[in-house]
Homo-oligomer: A and B are copies of this chain.
Amino acid sequence: MPKQVPIVLTGFGNVGRAFLKLAREKHAFVRERYGLDLKIVAAFRSTGGAMLDDNPGAATFAASPDLKLETLPTWTPGLRLVDVLDGSLLGVLAETTPSNLKTGEPGLGYMHAALSRGWNIAAASKGAFSVDFSGLMEAARRQSLFIKFSGATAASLPTLDVATISLSGAEILGIDGILTGTTNHILGRLEEGLTFDAALREAQILGIAEPDPSMDIDGWDTACKLQLIVNAAMGTGLTLGDLAVEGIRDVTPESQRSARAEGKILKLIGRMTRDGDHLRASVAPIAIEASHPLYRVHGTNKGIAFFTDTMGTVVVTGGKSDPRGTAASMMKDIINIYR
């Protein structure tokens, strides 16, 4: 008998919708391979929610192209997460709401509500962790629950798994990461001679950069991911404010040219360095040499290098960055919670 895994989804943007589709597409595979029966029982957006489990339209819903929760017969304006968590069901909250980095809401409230009711968490949103990483971890620990966030830390690129599982027993002496595909793409175009404004406009037209690109190009997306990776890897409780963050607005084709003249290339690097037990985490454009393990991470690709005492340098690159890749990393976390 496969184990039933009820899932409640918060947030119904690109990632939330991709997750719903993927859960349906992979249902048989996950049941056969891992013995898990993943079931999305409800989905929420800010204006309300819909029960999916007993809804006869739910099966075809995930396959429909527009995927509007409001079209479901069970759509209930004003329905809140806590209205459905109170019950005998225990499962996983799949959190995908847009991040507010200052308040952490609405994800922070959702996650604490879920943890206090015995639900595990697989999150793709970053805001709640930026604001209250230690509080969330402590709440999960008290309840012996899992709180996983691969979807918030470069998604299909397995940054957290490698840091917390593959490097067990080694001391991580330093971390360098290219964690934002958008900025890496723009820096590559600057290297090819485009101005910053032209490269940014192009990226927006291609859908690589957001209409409001500041989260990426001012370094905050990288900073959020780095904060989470460092905390998970090193057992620390850094907040976003502990990081020195510089974006790529001041990088010019000329600065890329001078870097190249020295055989280097400017990349937006999220970096953790250590001086004994003192950690420093920062985000800045850095000219790295050809021998650097991330030198050839081009375009929208991402990568991370862990420098260790006993295992040498371990480097991971690749991993899909689109909503489907993020959804896949959330599904991975859910599977690993129950294995």
Q: Which secondary structure characterizes the binding site on chain A?
A: mixed
Q: Given A33-B235, A162-B158, A162-B161, verify A169-B328 contact (CB < 8 Å).
A: yes
A173 within 8 A of B: no
A335 within 8 A of B: yes
A71 within 8 A of B: no
Q: Which of A60-68, A196-204, A210-218, A316-324 has 4 or more CB atoms under 8 Å from chain B? A: A316-324
A157 within 8 A of B: yes
Contact B296 A325 (CB under 8 A): no
Q: Which of A22-30, A97-105, A240-248 has 4 or more CB atoms under 8 Å from chain B? A: A22-30
Tell me the residues in window 306-339 of chain A with beta carbons closer than 8 Å to chain B beta carbons: 310-320, 324-325, 327-329, 331-332, 334-336, 339
A11 within 8 A of B: no
**Chain A: interface residue count, which band?**
35 or more
A120 within 8 A of B: no
Partner pick for A171 among B29, B310, B319, CB 8 A cutoff: B29
Residues of chain B within 8 A of A332, CB atoms compared:
165-170
Complex CA–CA separation, A317 to B296 (angstroms): 13
Contact A311 B336 (CB under 8 A): no
Residues of chain B within 8 A of A30, CB atoms compared:
169
| Shortest distance between the CB of A233 and any CB in chain B (Å) | 11
Contact B312 A315 (CB under 8 A): no
Residue of B nearest to A307 (CB): B318
Residues of chain B within 8 A of A161, CB atoms compared:
161-162, 165-166
Complex CA–CA separation, A33 to B335 (angstroms): 25
Tell me the residues in window 268-324 of chain A with beta carbons closer than 8 Å to chain B beta carbons: 293, 296, 305, 310-320, 324
| Shortest distance between the CB of A303 and any CB in chain B (Å) | 8
Residue of B nearest to A235 (CB): B33
Contact A318 B310 (CB under 8 A): no
Copies of the polypeptide in the assembly: 2
Complex CA–CA separation, A110 to B19 (angstroms): 45
Complex CA–CA separation, A29 to B309 (angstroms): 13
A156 within 8 A of B: yes
Contact A311 B293 (CB under 8 A): no
Residue of B nearest to A331 (CB): B169
On A, residues with C-beta under 8 Å from B are 22, 26, 29-30, 33-34, 156-158, 161-162, 165-171, 235, 293, 296, 305, 310-320, 324-325, 327-329, 331-332, 334-336, 339
Shortest 6 CB-CB distances between A and B: which pairs? A158-B166, A312-B320, A156-B311, A310-B328, A168-B335, A169-B331
19 further contact pairs, Cβ within 8 A, besides A158-B166, A170-B328: A26-B310, A29-B169, A33-B235, A156-B311, A156-B312, A158-B167, A158-B314, A166-B332, A168-B331, A169-B332, A169-B335, A305-B318, A310-B324, A310-B325, A311-B319, A313-B319, A314-B316, A314-B318, A315-B318
